Chain A
Amino acid sequence: MKLIIAIIRPERLQAVQDALQKTLDEGDNYRLTVASVDGHGRAVGEVEYFRGQQVRARMAQKAQITIGVNDAYVEKAIDAIVAAARGSGGGEIGDGKIFVLPLEQCVRIRTGERGGSAI
């Protein structure tokens, strides 16, 4: 099991969800957690103005997707996110990043079942 954390442009969220649905959904609705996050990568944040003072917030608004997958689905999910998050214009600074982490355990609270079947 792996935990995939993807940080993407908020406006690509819809496309990424559609792509993940196509790849992961097997009629039981795939699972996904989304958060609105602020941060920066190579791109520095935009310059803002507040009462005439220039402020560089060093932050850009992004969407963060967290999704747990079984090993067989990891590559497919990564490919789907990369393709959809890049958009039609091809890659640009600010498109985001994907982290893949080993996932030690997964528990479905309702039933108490564990492991791959709980994902």
Chain B
Amino acid sequence: MLDSILGGVAGGVSLALADPVVAAQAASAPAAAPVVAASQIDSGSTAWMLMSSAMVLLMVPGLALFYGGMVRRKNVLTTMLHAFVAMAIIGLQWVLIGYCLAFGKSIGGFIGWSPEYIAFNGISHDALYGDKRVPELVFAMFQGKFAIITPALIAGAVAERISFRAYVLFILLWSTFVYCPLAHWVWASGGWLFEKGVLDFAGGTVVHIASGVSALALVLLVGNRRDYPDGAIMPNSLVLTLTGAGLLWFGWFGFNAGSAVAVESPVAGYAAVLAFTTTQTAAAAAALVWMLLEWKHTGKPTSLGVASGIVAGLVAITPAAGHVTPMWAIVIGAGGSVVCYLAVQCKARHRKDDSLDAFGVHGVGGMWGAIATGIFCFTPVAGLVNGGGFRQIGLQLLGVGVTVAFAFVMTIIIGTIVNLVVGLRVTDTQERDGLDITIHGERGYHL
């Protein structure tokens, strides 16, 4: 706050008094850009983005608990490891090459490439990101957490039978050839969907539609579990799942409200509190609606229903978080629960073993949220209900269509390649005896 007042009101001279290093630079080169840039850092935004980055990372163990609780006890470790190993693999991939591909200098709007971004080698710790008033490193780290959680979401669809080796290879390729290009198209300055005006505040298309649709494509390649749909496949601990859902909700405040700086304005602040408020509101509405739907439909308000509703609402509000009012966030969250509930019910009919409903919740909820953004947005453009007509809905549909097609086709290609190289699926005996003991040599629970 002090920095920004000094920088804004009195310019470089006041700041030079406050900071001897900058003063020295200013003395030798009064008009040099770094002095101006340093004077523009916003400490509040920077602190909030650092915090947000850590909160988004916390969503990954949250996801591990959420998914881990829903599988049988013989597969609890391998399922949780799918999320944890993404922190290791994508955590490195993003620094080495991912950030360069997603946020490097745009090549025709389709992919980024700035050699100085490789391994963050040319990113100075005191450089700001574009026109934002936060350091580029904090932006890069924040985006890296999104890159980590997105492929981990896919794992839920193919839990209990995908080979660990194949999964590791798959997420590395998928993140590089699906996530990075999509992030570039939608979020990077110069990305073709970004330039067209498609709105995606915190990742409805890039994160949720992409992972959800890819999850479905991967189920088609890997096949159903040997015990699906006839066997009794019961969760080992919904206690873990509820704990995970709680951590996801908490982390999602970083995910959405942190995106205020990343995609919206040069500083956090108004956009961040709006996103924070809509995130809370939509998740609450969705949890309530899922519970009521289930209560009415099956006679029981289940804990897994409430947990699923929370996630459905958070997914739905993600693309809209900083673009809609809290009142419309209620509608978006509630609508998210309705469409996801229907999607999960439909699974019983089409018999595709999307084991933990990655497509049913993230894919379907993401599509609803992306389209709803075009209906209910008021900033930076007016959507349908605010007198903006159908223009933004059309743009959102373009974003959805492109993401669905790209993610689906690319996942089929990558999955087929991985299958040829290492085989996507474990052996029947491994699946029967459980992946924890046969692949990892461990059990989650002993006597």
- A residues in contact (CB < 8 Å) with B: 9, 11, 14, 38, 46-50, 57, 59, 61
Contacts and interface: CB of A to CB of B under 8 A. Distances in A.
B442 A14 contact: no
B443 A11 contact: no
Contact of A48 (B227, B437, B447): B437
A49 B231 contact: no
B72 to A, nearest CB: 9
A49 B447 contact: no
B441 A38 contact: no
B352 interface: no
Interface in B408-447: 432-433, 437-438, 440-443, 446-447
Nearest to A9: B432
Nearest to B438: A46
Contact of B442 (A9, A11, A38, A50): A50
Contacts of B438: 46
B231 A14 contact: yes
Contacts of A61: 74
Contacts of B230: 14
A48 B232 contact: no
B437 A46 contact: yes
A49 B442 CA distance: 6
B432 A48 contact: no
B231 A48 contact: no
B232 A14 contact: yes
Contacts of B232: 14
Interface in B210-258: 227, 230-232
Given A46-B437, A47-B441, 6 more contacts: A9-B432, A14-B227, A14-B230, A48-B442, A50-B442, A61-B74
Nearest to B431: A11
Contacts of A48: 437, 441-443
A115 B59 CA distance: 58
Contacts of A46: 433, 437-438, 441
B227 A49 contact: no
**Ranked 9 nearest A-B pairs via Cβ:** A49-B441, A46-B437, A14-B232, A14-B231, A48-B441, A38-B447, A48-B442, A11-B432, A49-B442
Contacts of B442: 48-50
Nearest to B440: A49
12 contacts: A9-B432, A11-B227, A11-B231, A11-B432, A14-B227, A14-B231, A38-B447, A46-B433, A46-B438, A47-B441, A48-B437, A61-B74
B24 to A, nearest CB: 52
Nearest to B433: A46
A59 B437 CA distance: 12
A108 B160 CA distance: 42
A5 B443 CA distance: 26
A9 B431 CA distance: 13
A46 B440 CA distance: 11
Contacts of A14: 227, 230-232
Contacts of A11: 227, 231, 432
Interface string B355-376: 0000000000000000000000
Among A9, A46, A49, max chain B CB count under 10 A is at A46
A50 B444 CA distance: 11
B444 to A, nearest CB: 11
